[in-house]
A and B are shown apart, each in its own frame.
Chain A
Amino acid sequence: GIQVEQSPPDLILQEGANSTLRCNFSDSVNNLQWFHQNPWGQLINLFYIPSGTKQNGRLSATTVATERYSLLYISSSQTTDSGVYFCAVGNTGTASKLTFGTGTRLQVTL
């Protein structure tokens, strides 16, 4: 099956700093999603981005499908950004199951 790797595994930032999270995948995909799992365990959809670039406030994401990677940018980080960020991909057509990476744990300190 498809392999998904995320880096870095852990990240500690001071409030206000910027960061880039990376997701590499081993095959072509027709679905790629970024999630934030907050400290209460809730999975929040950030982006649906099988290709291209999207922005939502302080967050943006880019997927380069031909090179099999996606990047999530967080600018001016806030303590509420803390949690685990997951990349998940699907590659078996419509309604493909998602294969998750192991996540990047982000801690934003004051």
Chain B
Amino acid sequence: GEEVAQTPKHLVRGEGQKAKLYCAPIKGHSYVFWYQQVLKNEFKFLISFQNENVFDETGMPKERFSAKCLPNSPCSLEIQATKLEDSAVYFCASSQSGAGYNEQFFGPGTRLTVL
């Protein structure tokens, strides 16, 4: 599609439950990024993919968080055993491949509330 699509828009989970978020990048874009926005003004990079391969996972918490991008499927970000501190808006972004095509385009986000 022409825009990055994210589902669901809102997700509410009890502490300890699993949460799974989905992202469909812009058609033709090779890179997918996940960011977490906490407290409105603080963005944290989580992980990026080049097609199905992990490209940069330096921001990914080692426990409880996992992500995949499989062929012909939306990318996913999964949080096992959610904690209150996981409450945030999770943004997905995509970009084209190649030097000079670094602009990232963001989806509308998924708001996760952990109770």
Q: How many residues of A contact B (CB 8 A)?
A: 25
Is A95's beta carbon under 8 Å from chain B? Answer: yes
* A-B pair number, CB within 8 angstroms: 60
Contact pick for A97, options B48, B97, B106, B109, CB 8 Å: B48
* Known contacts A90-B102, A97-B58; 11 further A-B pairs (Cβ under 8 A): A41-B111, A42-B108, A50-B102, A88-B43, A94-B98, A95-B55, A96-B102, A97-B45, A97-B56, A98-B33, A102-B42
Interface of B is mostly: strand
Is B76's beta carbon under 8 Å from chain A? Answer: no
Q: How many residues of B contact A (CB 8 A)?
A: 29
Chain A contacts for B91, CB-based, 8 A = 43
Chain B contacts for A98, CB-based, 8 A = 33, 35, 43, 45, 93, 104
Q: Could you tell me the distance between the alpha carbons of A47 and B50 in the complex, rounded to whole angstroms? A: 23
